[in-house]
Each structure stands twice: as structure tokens, then as C-alpha cells.
Amino acid sequence: MSVIQVQTPGLLTTVQDLGREGFGPLGVSPSGAADPISLRIGNRLVANPEGAAGLEMTLLGGTFSFADGAILALTGSDFGATLDGTVVDPWTSIEVRPGQTLSVGPALSGARCYLCVHGGTAVKPFLGSASTHILSGLGGFEGRPLRKGDVLHIGSATGSFRERTITSQARDRLAPRQALRVTPGPQSSWFSESSLRSFYAATYRVGEQSNRMGLRLEGALVTQSPGGEMITEGVSLGAVQVTHGGLPIILFVEQQTTGGYPKIANVISADIHCVGQLRPRDEIRFEQVTLETARSLLVEQEKLLASAELILE
């Protein structure tokens, strides 16, 4: 079996797939790739099923050696990677010869880069998924971010190498947006007109204490109208909750499954991958759309992802 040897792990590198759905009643959130579109495309570039497990790197990539060689692709943000010193094009599959070393650097833009290998990263699934849930130490590789010296197995791979890349038009259309589109949250009516206006007019800065659980935002305070008393309820991916202090938090892939703060808005499904590319100090805005618009944006996005023209061979 081929392996990936971790020489240096980078800042925060975890095994992720598209997450585990269906365990909300146990308090288990789906987890999964923070930028699922990049993982899906990365897998297609190396002829894997879209949901195969890959490595998610955050802000600073790692160094990995491949004693038996591999076919791999890097997607997501450009982390300036090299293979034995030669620049590696992102969003393009490459063949690694036995003994070669891949060095992934710091993010040139965005926050997350995905390493997908042909055959997928093989870990023991937990509740049907390879995703790491960092907070609870479950899933992925021993339930934790990778460390120096870790050896990960690559799943059985049968295909031969073909260079694949994605069209630049598709890359442009899927590029992360700084204006996140949202639909009204379940408690949006608890906020006054002026609070809602200021929320949608404001530019928010992503706080330093942001992670896969949630992104803390800094900027205009949003105040709740008096009256509503919140009872803890289920929260959805991308919910924008407002704490007592008046600052919004975007709940993300490793979110708490229930919460007791009112939600003013919710990032639409088609823009969730943009949240995964935000880093501390990035500036964002919110743009309200209807449920119908959110739905048609997702349909359009899925059509693009499924189109034959997406991948060039």
C-alpha cells in the first residue's frame, strides 16, 4: 500500500471528506471540508469519487514525501507548492515519482488548500465519514491534526496518470466571494429595521479567533429588539448568530449542533465554500437574497460542477 509521509504538518492539516450527515440527534455535526467545492474538484482531477478523503491545509501547508509515488492534485487557495523544487500548478493533476517530496508553502491568498491523491487518503471511517472533528477528537487520522512523522495510507488506486485541469472560466465562476449571500435567519424579525440595515450595510472583519467551528466577526454591532427570549434550538450550517455583545458569528462546518443565540441570517449553500477560504482580518459584507434565488444559485453551481466542460484532459 502506498503512503504519504508527513515531514512537516503545516499549521493545521486534517483529513476531510464531505462530512457525516445524519447524526444530529447525537450532537455530532457533519464536519467535512471547509471548502467542499475545492475538495470535490480535486478528487475529480485525480479520478476519485467526489467525496473521497483528502488533506485540508490551513494558512500554511506541510511537506509530504511519497516513497512509492502518487498521482495528486492541489486545489483551493494557491499555497505556492513545489515538487522537489519545481513549481506545481494548482488545479492540475501531477504524477509524483517514488521518493519525491511535495512542499506546500504559506497561503498566497485565501485560507485553505486541498491535497487530493488518486485512491484517496485511507483512514478508518467514523460514522461513515473520514472527516476529522477536531474539537471532539473524532474521525480522520487518530481524531487530530497531522503531526510530523505521521504515515497515512493511500487507498487502492488502479488508474494510470492523465493530466487533468479545470477551465479558467469555471475557476473564475467558483472563485470565493467577499460579499456573502444570505437568506434571513429564523430570528431575523427579532432585530429592528435599523439593526438590519446596519448589518447589511456594514463591512465586517474576520476575527483572529475564527476556526472550523465558527468565524467571529468584528464591526458594526447588531442589537436585538427587546422581547424575544431564545430557547436553545438546532442551528444550520452557515447560520449567522448574534451574541449578547452584538457581534455576529458565522457557524461553520464543525459547528455546535444546537445554540441559544438568535440568528439574523444564514449564508446560502452556494456560498458556504467561500466561508472556508476566509482568513483572519479578511473583510466581508452580507447581501440578502430570497430562498428562491439561493436555490437557483445552487442549481446553477451544481450544473457547472457536473458539466463535462469543467475538466480538461
Which parts of this chain interact with another protein (CB under 8 A)?
A: 21-28, 30, 126-127, 133, 135-138, 183, 185-186, 231-239, 256-259, 263, 266-269, 291, 294-295, 298-299, 302
Specify the residue for cell string 493511500.
Answer: 154
> In terms of CB distance, is 54 or 238 closer to another protein?
238
Q: How far is the CB of 26 from another protein (least distance, A)?
A: 6
Block residue for cell numbers 430557547: 231
* Smallest separation (angstroms) from another protein to the CB of 270: 8
Rounded Cα distance between 83 and 96, Å, is 8
Q: Give the residue with the Cβ less far from another protein, 231 or 308.
A: 231
Q: CB of 274: closest distance to another protein in angstroms?
A: 15
Nearer to another protein, 239 or 242 (CB): 239
Cβ proximity to another protein: between 194 and 209 the closer is: 209
Q: Closest separation between CB of residue 230 and another protein, Å?
A: 10
Q: How far is the CB of 115 from another protein (least distance, A)?
A: 26
Least gap, CB of 236 to another protein (angstroms): 4
CB of 225 to another protein, least distance (A): 16
Work out whether strand 263-267 and strand 82-83 pair parallel, antiparallel, or are unpaired: unpaired
- Amino acid letter for position 202: A
Of the two residues 24 and 99, which places its CB atom closer to another protein in the complex?
24
**Residue reference for cell 504515515:** 151
Which residue, 28 or 107, is less far from another protein as judged by CB? Answer: 28
Q: Which is nearer to another protein, 24 or 106 (CB)?
A: 24
